[in-house]
Chain A
């Protein structure tokens, strides 16, 4: 598991790496939240393009960050979603929040 955070003005992009499951989601969550609470970005972008596996723990990760950034007055964008990840997102109903960036 790795993670790269880049900042462009008030936009933060988190490039997630590896597998997202209940085990890895915990440390990802802690790192993102620490950063977001310090930087208070206007836009938080979670980039899933390097994620090889994700189960429903990834939905918990997205929902939690969505709530946090809303409280801070920013907004969440989800990018780099593969077909497999997209199926879980659809199942969760998160797609209706309008946060998933269409591409590929």
Chain B
């Protein structure tokens, strides 16, 4: 295995039901637990995935019961790459959709989904084609425990 290869990978697909938002963030949380993230890092990842999956359900598929694809890779360095993909309607103007408070989802949607993803993760990429679907790639670097311990002993020593 080369050093840049992921140490583990997972792929999931599930129907775009609102009740699967909790399933998706629970699944991603138990997968990334292998990297021993802090509670705050874990909460950031769960929140970002919840936002992306909700977007696919509410905007990507709307009334259609499509499929959502969730993939994740973790690396020895603590890097996590997560992909949330749908085959829904797509986003005509990605940069507009990513503006804070912009929403097409009606009054009870805050328009903060992408702002939350950008604020809680280290990288967010959105690729979308109208009529074909949307792929959101999220990246997060969690600090590995041995690095944390090294840092701590450096402080103590």
Chain A residues close to B by CB (< 8 Å)? 19, 21-23, 25-26, 29, 53-57, 59-61, 63-64, 83-84, 87-88, 91-92
Given A91-B112, A91-B116, A91-B119, A55 contacting B107 (CB threshold 8 A): no
Also in contact, A88 and B50, with CB within 8 A (given A19-B22, A23-B21):
no
Question: 9 A–B contact pairs at CB < 8 A?
Answer: A21-B22, A22-B57, A22-B58, A53-B43, A55-B47, A56-B51, A56-B113, A56-B116, A60-B107
Nearest residue (CB) in B for A90 is: B119
Interface of B is mostly: helix
A91 touches B115 (CB 8 A): yes
Q: How many Å lie between the Cα of A26 and that of B105 in the bound state?
A: 13
User: Judging by beta carbons under 8 Å apart, are B112 and A59 in contact?
Assistant: yes
On B, residues with C-beta under 8 Å from A are: 18-19, 21-22, 25, 40, 43, 46-47, 50-51, 54, 57-58, 100, 107-110, 112-113, 115-116, 119-120
Question: Known contacts A22-B58, A88-B47: does B116 contact A64 (CB below 8 Å)?
Answer: no
Contacts of A88 in B (CB 8 A): 47, 112, 116
Are A53 and B18 closer than 8 Å at their CB atoms?
no
Contact yes or no, B109 A60, CB < 8 A: yes
Smallest distance from the beta carbon of A95 to chain B beta carbons, Å? 13
